A and B are shown apart, each in its own frame.
Chain A
Amino acid sequence: MLVRFNLNGEEIESEVRDDERALDFLRRIGMKSVKEGCGEGECGACTIIVNGRNVVSCLMLAPELDGTEVWTTEGLSFKNELDPIQKAFVDEGAIQCGFCTPGMVMSAKALLMKNPQPTVEEIKKGMEGNLCRCTGYFKIIEAVKKAADEN
């Protein structure tokens, strides 16, 4: 079927299969920041923002993208200018292997869009769906706090 949606600020029109996962479709059209870590909605590596909410794209079908506004990490840094949340991840050393990073950044972004000044508990709640095996999360919390402070 044909889906029309807004991807990273641009209108997109594309043919998708009915049973195609949003994850596979987005990767197929070049959004390689959307990673597959588990395929069951547990790890959060495929997190994207759909209509302002963080969503795991492995549990979403591509046809469901129709009519939505979607953001992936590719759309965050405009003309090489990092989004404040990306900058905070770099500055705070919240990145190690980098595989969870795009999904983590999208969850943080969605959190700050809803709640610009989250408490540590709210950060934990908002990021609970994103697994990281490298950092132990401490610096990720610091990064989200820093981005919030600069909001």
Chain B
Amino acid sequence: MGTFTKKRDYSVIGKEIPRVDSLVKVKGKAKFVADFDMKDMLYGALVLSKRARGRVKKIDVSKASSLKGVRAILTYEDIPGENQIGEVVNDMPCLVPVGEEVRYYGDVISLVAADSLEIAKEAVKLVKVEYEDLEPVLTIEKALKNEVKIHPSGNILTSKKIRKGNVEKGFFESDFVIEDDFYAHYQEQAYLEPQGILSLYDNNYGITIYGSMQCPYYVQEMVPKVLGMSMHSVRVIQAETGGAFGGKEDVPSYVASQCALLTYHTKKPVLLVYSREVDIQTTSKRHPIKSHYKLGVTEDGKIKAVEITAHMDMGAYATLSPIVMYRSLVHAAGAYDIENVKVDIDGVYTNKVPCGAFRGFGSPQVLFAMESIVDEAAEKLRMDPMDIRLKNALRIGSRTSTDQLLTESVGAVKTIEHAMEISNYAELKKEMAAFNLENKFKKRGIGVSHIIYGISLGAAGQHLDAAGSLVQVHRDGSVNIHIGNTEMGQGAKTVIAMIASEALGQSIEKIRVDNPDTSYVQDSGPTVASRATVFSGNAVKKACEKIKARMEEYFSKTRNVSVEEIVFKNGAIKTVDNKHKILFDSLANECYNSNTKMVERGWFVSPKLRWNSETGLGEAYITYAYATQVVVAEVDMLTGKSQVIEAYTSHDVGKKLNPVGLVGQVQGGFVQGMGYGLFEEIKTTDGRITTDNFNTYIIPTISDIPQKLKIDFVEDAYSQGPFGAKGIGEPSLMPVPASIANAISNAVRKRVKRIPATAEYVFNIIEEVIK
């Protein structure tokens, strides 16, 4: 049990602890939504638009309705509440009405429920939809002409900007000004478990939704709107969620609305699980972003100014784009102390799949561009890429690109130093030069990237940036923790259990973190933005501390000792002098017998941020994570095929709470970022996604990973984080596409300006070099 002292030696925090949900998962007993079996359950399926743009003239369901086993076929006329939906802008129909336009290949026109999935799929084929063909808008360029309007308001939904200092003055003071264009393509989240919802009906309580999701409160807000019900009649419980990566932020609200409509009309349980094809074709992706960067530097490598214009392809509907854009805006100028910054970003509609949330939320695209142009500046100045980054890195007292003063927890410089150290950077450069001398058709390059990542929803999402908890210690000492943020694989339950264990003094085995249920905890915002550890973590810590204080008080009174003498640790309570000791479980029982309140709520609200959306200046996020990465890539000069040989990455996480989980996040984020950097390619024909399963949309396999990935953590504590922690979920991916693009550029001596840097693309830029 260790020694009992009052000082801050944590018993759980920072220790290697197995995941709390690993046993149930390794036994195959974790219950994902498709694993629920309900009596009389029906199966749902969708009738989707087969046009990128067209007007619906007629929907004929007569043949499909007469199929045996079909229980419901619904169209827009069957929606009791609002048909016009959207998480930020109500620009999307739940079901496209007759007379209205379909705006992408995948718009939902009708819903089917049947006794079996086979019958439901058969019925989908029998629903006849007649269209008037309309010319689709499939590129950003065409959309910007505004000749064909996708929505009545025009094709640019929203524009955001930063105006810091005076870029003209900055360029004037620069010795070199470098300009370039960059393009970052789509990326598909490719969570292994497809979207899925189960909805149930009860005469007294209304609708209960189980599902694979990141944000139960989004679902609890949208479903009642569509059904014309009050929020108290819709209860949402998260089922085990098989990966999400942003792809289950707002999308489950739509899936749940579809499923709940079928339950509303049939009064039966309905299971709606998307096939992989429907999932890839209809659900949101990482936004393609086209950008133009102009960077001014002095001879000694100081960045004086950066001017950026960027266009995001939002696809047919806004979904989360306006807030994704906010993050693109804030991260566009990267992790540097730059006096003069000008950024303009437009969100543009096209007749393609709507884009939305994906790990990094609009920032990997712009970080790739920024890190590329910084490398171009270094080349121009014959400076080492690390030196230029070190020269411009953010420190305590620096101001970010939005003019936010950094006052604490800025581990940026340390991550640069550590990345150089763990990669043996100077030696690595020599090794690579030697390799390239010996090899004619295979060339290696070193790529570096240095990034910043805003933790929390930021100034644009402050109204959602709070989180709650409900903690109950039972008579036998076992503990239930309810939170509003979800476990989707990232390890939230484990880190929350660790925080609770540390704060309560109960051993972690006695603590259960339950899946979020909207009836227990107040809206805690979405599980995004690497915020669960900080927000739910703080909320749980607060509730646990209240209960512990009450147990301490009871112990102190009954044992006649002062509170200062009592130590709670790992399931036992003792006095410092060892005179009194009792198991946590027994003390819990005593507290029950004395009518002590053993249930508490915690509520954490983020520090308020001051932000001016006119100038794009102010406090953008509550704090930032930083990372620096070194990657060695090898390019086959005959085919253009590239691979990552080894990588070194240093992350400032504030405080390591769960070391195993942290490493897992960084490894997973690296490989997902590598897929984006190298080969994950969404292809479309006439606006239809043709790479709609894993035989055409290729994600990394076990054979694609680098031989070595060395991981380092910088701990520069954040005072508002639980035990000093910041988030890691997204920062893990952020540096990867950029460092890979820089490594390939370094290998082929030509700038990679597009990600993914597919074999075809790299082959073409090599050919240009030879020509």
A interface residues (Cβ-Cβ under 8 A, vs B): 32-40, 42-43, 45, 72-74, 76-77, 82, 86, 89-91, 93, 95-102, 105, 123-125, 127-128, 130-141
- Residues of chain A within 8 A of B31, CB atoms compared: 32
- Residues of chain A within 8 A of B228, CB atoms compared: none
- Residues of chain A within 8 A of B489, CB atoms compared: 96-99, 134
The segment from B100-108, B154-162, B235-243, B360-368 found at the interface with A is B235-243
- Residues of chain B within 8 A of A33, CB atoms compared: 27-29
Is A42's CB under 8 angstroms from B695's CB? yes
Is B693's CB under 8 angstroms from A42's CB? yes
Distance in angstroms between the alpha carbons of A74 and B32 in the assembled complex: 15
Nearest Cβ distance between residue A9 and chain B, in whole angstroms? 16
Cβ of B672 under 8 Å from chain A: yes
Distance in angstroms between the alpha carbons of A91 and B31 in the assembled complex: 22
Cβ of B426 under 8 Å from chain A: no
Q: Determine the residue in chain A with the shortest Cβ distance to B705.
A: A137
Is A93's CB under 8 angstroms from B703's CB? no
Nearest Cβ distance between residue B213 and chain A, in whole angstroms? 13
A-B contact pairs, 8 of them (CB 8 A): A43-B192, A93-B661, A96-B668, A98-B30, A99-B192, A124-B702, A131-B699, A139-B664
Q: Determine the residue in chain B with the shortest Cβ distance to A137.
A: B702
Is A128's CB under 8 angstroms from B703's CB? yes
Is B705's CB under 8 angstroms from A136's CB? yes
Distance in angstroms between the alpha carbons of A114 and B118 in the assembled complex: 38
Cβ of B491 under 8 Å from chain A: yes
Cβ of B694 under 8 Å from chain A: yes
Nearest Cβ distance between residue B739 and chain A, in whole angstroms? 15
Binary CB contact string for chain B from 49 to 78 against chain A (1 if under 8 A, 0 otherwise): 000000000000000000000000000000
Closest 8 CB pairs of A and B: A33-B28, A97-B489, A99-B242, A98-B25, A136-B671, A73-B28, A42-B694, A136-B667
A89-B26 contact in complex given A96-B490, A132-B192, C-beta closer than 8 Å: yes
Q: Determine the residue in chain B with the shortest Cβ distance to A41.
A: B695
Is B671's CB under 8 angstroms from A101's CB? no
Q: A42-B694, A43-B694, A133-B668 are in contact. List 18 more A-B contacts (CB 8 A).
A: A33-B27, A34-B28, A37-B276, A73-B28, A89-B26, A95-B22, A96-B668, A97-B241, A98-B22, A98-B24, A98-B242, A128-B701, A130-B702, A133-B245, A134-B243, A135-B667, A137-B700, A141-B702
Cβ of B413 under 8 Å from chain A: no
- Residues of chain A within 8 A of B24, CB atoms compared: 98
Q: Determine the residue in chain A with the shortest Cβ distance to B241.
A: A97
Nearest Cβ distance between residue A150 and chain B, in whole angstroms? 16
**Most central of B489, B663, B671, B695 by chain A CB within 10 Å:** B489
A95-B192 contact in complex given A42-B694, A134-B243, C-beta closer than 8 Å: no
Nearest Cβ distance between residue A28 and chain B, in whole angstroms? 9
Interface of A is mostly: loop
Distance in angstroms between the alpha carbons of A115 and B664 in the assembled complex: 27
Cβ of B357 under 8 Å from chain A: no
Is A97's CB under 8 angstroms from B28's CB? no
B242's partner among A89, A90, A91, A97 (CB-CB below 8 A) is: A97
Cβ of B709 under 8 Å from chain A: yes
Within 8 A of A (CB), among B175-206: 189-194
Distance in angstroms between the alpha carbons of A91 and B19 in the assembled complex: 9
Distance in angstroms between the alpha carbons of A40 and B693 in the assembled complex: 8
Cβ of B266 under 8 Å from chain A: no
Q: Determine the residue in chain B with the shortest Cβ distance to A123.
A: B702
Is B26's CB under 8 angstroms from A82's CB? yes
Nearest Cβ distance between residue B734 and chain A, in whole angstroms? 15
- Residues of chain B within 8 A of A72, CB atoms compared: 28
A90's partner among B26, B669, B671 (CB-CB below 8 A) is: B26
Distance in angstroms between the alpha carbons of A101 and B25 in the assembled complex: 7
Distance in angstroms between the alpha carbons of A124 and B22 in the assembled complex: 23
Distance in angstroms between the alpha carbons of A96 and B110 in the assembled complex: 35
- Residues of chain B within 8 A of A93, CB atoms compared: 18-19, 22, 660-661, 663-664
Cβ of B760 under 8 Å from chain A: no
- Residues of chain B within 8 A of A77, CB atoms compared: 27
A133-B699 contact in complex given A33-B28, A37-B276, A99-B193, C-beta closer than 8 Å: yes
- Residues of chain A within 8 A of B663, CB atoms compared: 93, 139
B240's partner among A98, A138, A139 (CB-CB below 8 A) is: A98
Cβ of B34 under 8 Å from chain A: yes
Distance in angstroms between the alpha carbons of A89 and B25 in the assembled complex: 10
Is A133's CB under 8 angstroms from B194's CB? no
Distance in angstroms between the alpha carbons of A134 and B661 in the assembled complex: 11
Nearest Cβ distance between residue B492 and chain A, in whole angstroms? 11
- Residues of chain A within 8 A of B27, CB atoms compared: 33, 73-74, 76-77, 82, 86
- Residues of chain B within 8 A of A40, CB atoms compared: 276, 693-695
Cβ of B119 under 8 Å from chain A: no
- Residues of chain B within 8 A of A36, CB atoms compared: 34
Q: Determine the residue in chain B with the shortest Cβ distance to A125.
A: B703
Q: Determine the residue in chain B with the shortest Cβ distance to A24.
A: B117
Cβ of B275 under 8 Å from chain A: yes
Cβ of B488 under 8 Å from chain A: yes
- Residues of chain B within 8 A of A37, CB atoms compared: 192-194, 276, 694
Q: Determine the residue in chain A with the shortest Cβ distance to B494.
A: A93
Cβ of B21 under 8 Å from chain A: yes
Cβ of B434 under 8 Å from chain A: no
**Most central of B275, B276, B488 by chain A CB within 10 Å:** B276
Distance in angstroms between the alpha carbons of A133 and B491 in the assembled complex: 14
Distance in angstroms between the alpha carbons of A38 and B191 in the assembled complex: 11
Is B19's CB under 8 angstroms from A137's CB? no
Is B668's CB under 8 angstroms from A35's CB? no
Nearest Cβ distance between residue B392 and chain A, in whole angstroms? 30
Within 8 A of A (CB), among B662-711: 663-664, 667-672, 693-695, 699-703, 705, 709
Is B671's CB under 8 angstroms from A137's CB? yes
Distance in angstroms between the alpha carbons of A81 and B276 in the assembled complex: 34
Cβ of B638 under 8 Å from chain A: no
- Residues of chain A within 8 A of B192, CB atoms compared: 35, 37, 43, 45, 97, 99-100, 131-134
Is B19's CB under 8 angstroms from A74's CB? no
Nearest Cβ distance between residue A32 and chain B, in whole angstroms? 4
B705's partner among A34, A45, A82, A138 (CB-CB below 8 A) is: A138
Distance in angstroms between the alpha carbons of A29 and B35 in the assembled complex: 12
Nearest Cβ distance between residue A95 and chain B, in whole angstroms? 5
Nearest Cβ distance between residue A85 and chain B, in whole angstroms? 9
Cβ of B88 under 8 Å from chain A: no
Nearest Cβ distance between residue B682 and chain A, in whole angstroms? 16
- Residues of chain B within 8 A of A39, CB atoms compared: 275-276, 693
Distance in angstroms between the alpha carbons of A43 and B407 in the assembled complex: 46
Cβ of B23 under 8 Å from chain A: yes
Q: Determine the residue in chain A with the shortest Cβ distance to B488.
A: A97
- Residues of chain A within 8 A of B275, CB atoms compared: 39
Q: Determine the residue in chain A with the shortest Cβ distance to B660.
A: A93
Q: Determine the residue in chain A with the shortest Cβ distance to B697.
A: A42
A140-B26 contact in complex given A37-B193, A43-B694, A99-B32, C-beta closer than 8 Å: no
- Residues of chain A within 8 A of B18, CB atoms compared: 90-91, 93
- Residues of chain B within 8 A of A76, CB atoms compared: 27
Distance in angstroms between the alpha carbons of A96 and B35 in the assembled complex: 18
- Residues of chain A within 8 A of B22, CB atoms compared: 89-90, 93, 95, 98
Distance in angstroms between the alpha carbons of A98 and B660 in the assembled complex: 16
- Residues of chain A within 8 A of B190, CB atoms compared: 133
Distance in angstroms between the alpha carbons of A126 and B276 in the assembled complex: 24
- Residues of chain B within 8 A of A125, CB atoms compared: 703
**Most central of B19, B25, B276, B670 by chain A CB within 10 Å:** B25
Distance in angstroms between the alpha carbons of A81 and B661 in the assembled complex: 25
A74's partner among B25, B28, B193, B194 (CB-CB below 8 A) is: B28
Distance in angstroms between the alpha carbons of A95 and B489 in the assembled complex: 8
- Residues of chain A within 8 A of B702, CB atoms compared: 123-124, 127-128, 130, 132, 137, 140-141
- Residues of chain A within 8 A of B667, CB atoms compared: 135-139
Is B668's CB under 8 angstroms from A134's CB? yes
Q: Determine the residue in chain B with the shortest Cβ distance to A101.
A: B25
A98-B672 contact in complex given A35-B193, A131-B694, A132-B192, C-beta closer than 8 Å: no
